Structure 1
Amino acid sequence: MKWKLLAACIVALTLLLPLSRSQAQEKLRFSYSSTNVVNAPWWMAKDKGFFKKHGMDPELLFIGSTTVSVQSLIAGDVQFGNATGGGIASANAGGGNLVLVSCFINTLPYQLVVSPSIKTAADLKGKAVGVSRFGSASDTAARFLVKSLGLTPGKDVPILQVGGGIERVSALRTGKIAALSASPGVMALAEGVEYRILADTGNVSEKLLFPYICGATTKSFLASNRDLIKRATMAMIEGTHYFKQNKAETKKIVAKYSRQNNEKYLEEGWDVTARLLERVPYVTMEGAESQVKEVLANRPGVPLKTQDIVDNGLVAEIEKSGFIDTVYRGK
């Protein structure tokens, strides 16, 4: 009897092992839209093996803006990617079928950096502010900060598409722009560039709630691959925890993806990002609602609601299961 039972167990294991290997090799194409340290949850999950731990063979792609990243999701070039609430709202208002399922940073940690000669809001009037692309996080932050100074973006202050953080710093250096919106650590790379901080999203009276570093996919892919996206989210939760708990190793990984070894940049970026990363990555509904309203202001009559761009169900399931508590207890 014992031998028969043992033989049956061996057969069962033989049948299960190929399934496990197949699951471990399940391919998924991810994208992130900036080389700034705030994208660390993706990098940590990839380089520290959390995606593989949760049964995925990940391909991580850099797509240089939220706008293009959203287009890649719609086209099916990637299955899961970083996107902002504004990017998803704009896409869905135009007929897209996208949804945010998690958000690891729910605000925009940006500063309005200006030339030294600009000391007041009045000094900024009529001078150009550089952003990466219209509709991007840097664009949203720039417009928010300009408004916080009592000025009207586009009317009082021209907004120019310049490129990434390094390109914007270069444009400030040459005088092409008089100001730029800068994310964590960027100005640490501005050696020899004189500047002032005129406004900061962390210091304005109205807190900027904004789904910023979020996990997005199409509603159709989520419907047919819900468990896969859930496991990807779990991997990123573990990546976030690793980032917060392992500063030295994290900075090495950030240096790899950002292609920056500037210690000041790595230190400042880590400090800001570690404070902002969510333990439980729900998408802020208030922030998503504000982005939907902003999109609808330019497209009146479009039947778009906040719940059309957010599904917090996966994170709720993960939290209820006790997984996040277990990760943060280190068990």
Structure 2
Amino acid sequence: MRPGNAHAAGGGSGVSPRLSRRQLLTIPAGAALAEVLAKTRASVQAQGPTRLDAGMSFFNLDGVSAWIAQDKRFFEKYGLSVTIVNFQGGAKAVAAMAAGDVPIALLGAADIINARSRGVPLQAVAGLINKFPFDFVVGKNITTPAQLRGAKGAISSFGGSSEFATRFALTKLGINPQDVTLLQVGDEGSRLAALSTGQIDFTVLTAGMDLVAFDMGFKPLLRLYTLDQPFQQTVIAINTAWAKTHSAIVDSFLRATVAANVFIKNPLNTAAALALIHTHLPIKEANLKQGFLLYRDQFYSVYPFVTVPGIEFILRTRKMEQPATDFYDNSYLQALQDANFAATLAKSP
């Protein structure tokens, strides 16, 4: 991580677009807002890109939009020089955001809810994945749910989406989560390694990574992504204290994200997208392709809005009484959609 990047508008020596959230709210929505932000970005771009450290708390297909935005230089197109900083689990990413080390991050919605309920000024501004993308995968000696009682399972970190999904899966299988032991192991690669060495008996793996496990002889007891259950899996989150004076940077980051999603959703770009993704997630190409196509067709959205039912499901399950609107702000994406931003990119190669 470059020293000072996140504190100086997430940006080191670049000139930062100082358009406050209050100023944004006084501007009419849609094309007028887009025009003002475009002028702000043009002024900044003339003086070079703004450096920005962006966190990521997972290493799977949930993060494809950021990888594509970086590799296809969409971030640069909208005035940003982004360094993706990887964290082992949402708790560490939240701590870095709270400390000001990274002002924006891709992480689990459950982590944002936990943090904000404790007074940490974080908020989701985009919802990357709006349903469970997991398979509940078990050791080779487990063939029935009853065998899970007394077993050990791996999650990324307590309070995050992998723990939430694991507890939900256990309940759907008729197992009280209190009857198992959950261990904080880290990302999916680490959890799969623990499963393969017999240190744990079960975990949740996203599409693509689950196929790696299946090639090793492991089986799913439950495919969570086949369930008709709203769930806000992952989001793009901001430190709201930082964003008050850096709204144009948030807007630029989301423009690059939408541009990446337009590229991803175009079937003509499948081969190119897979080639780029494979440099970040070097699993067997057939597994990567199958997982990517599932994500592209079922999970990715051009405008990745945070979903109220997905947030409310987490709040309801955790018996939290705050309104869902406390935890997200869709206005950035809404302004882009109102301005028909994606239509200007649809014909891009």
Q: Same fold (TM over 0.5)?
A: yes
Q: Which has the larger radius of gyration?
A: 1
Is 1:305 the counterpart of 2:328 in the alignment?
A: no
Q: In structure 2, which of residues 302, 313, 317 is the aligned counterpart of residue 279 of structure 1?
A: 302
Q: In structure 1, which of residues 321, 326, 329 is the aligned counterpart of residue 344 of structure 2?
A: 326
Where in structure 2 are there 5+ consecutive unaligned residues? Answer: 1-39
Distance 1:218 1:262 in 2: 36
Q: Kindly provide the amino acid, as one letter, of the partner of residue 326 in structure 1.
A: T
Pick which of 98-107 and 57-66 moved more. 57-66
Aligned-pair CA distance for 1:170: 2.2
Q: Tell me the equivalent position of 1:101.
A: 125
Alignment of structure 1 residues 170-319 onto 2, 5 Å: 170-190=193-213, 193-204=216-227, 207-245=228-266, 246-258=269-281, 260-275=282-297, 276-297=299-320, 304-319=322-337
Against the structure 1 CA distance between its residues 199 and 21, is the aligned structure 2 distance closer, same or farther, given a 3 Å change threshold? closer
Aligned-pair CA distance for 1:132: 1.7
Alignment of structure 1 residues 19-98 onto 2, 5 Å: 19-22=43-46, 24-98=48-122
Identity %: 25
Give the length in aligned residue pairs.
307
Normalising by structure 2, we get a TM-score of 0.81
Pick which of 86-95 and 116-125 moved more. 116-125
Q: Tell me the equivalent position of 2:165.
A: 141
Check the 8 A contact 1:188/1:264 in 2, yes or no.
no
Aligned-pair CA distance for 1:92: 1.1
Where in structure 1 are there 5+ consecutive unaligned residues? Answer: 1-15, 298-302
Aligned-pair CA distance for 1:265: 2.9
SS state of the match for residue 346, structure 2?
helix
Q: Kindly provide the amino acid, as one letter, of the partner of residue 42 in structure 1.
A: A
Distance 2:183 2:283 in 1: 29
Q: Deviations over 1:279-303 (max 9, x none)?
A: 2211011111222344455xxxxx7
Q: Deviations over 1:217-236 (max 9, x none)?
A: 01122221112211210110
Q: Kindly provide the amino acid, as one letter, of the partner of residue 212 in structure 1.
A: Q
Distance 2:274 2:329 in 1: 32
Check the 8 A contact 1:102/1:214 in 2, yes or no.
yes
Q: Deviations over 1:24-74 (max 9, x none)?
A: 412222121222122000011111011111111222211221221122111
Q: Kindly provide the amino acid, as one letter, of the partner of residue 238 in structure 2.
A: T
Distance 1:19 1:156 in 2: 58
Instruction: Name the Cα RMSD after superposition.
Output: 2.3
Check the 8 A contact 1:32/1:69 in 2, yes or no.
yes
Against the structure 1 CA distance between its residues 173 and 26, is the aligned structure 2 distance closer, same or farther, given a 3 Å change threshold? closer
Aligned-pair CA distance for 1:210: 2.3
Q: Kindly provide the amino acid, as one letter, of the partner of residue 160 in structure 1.
A: L
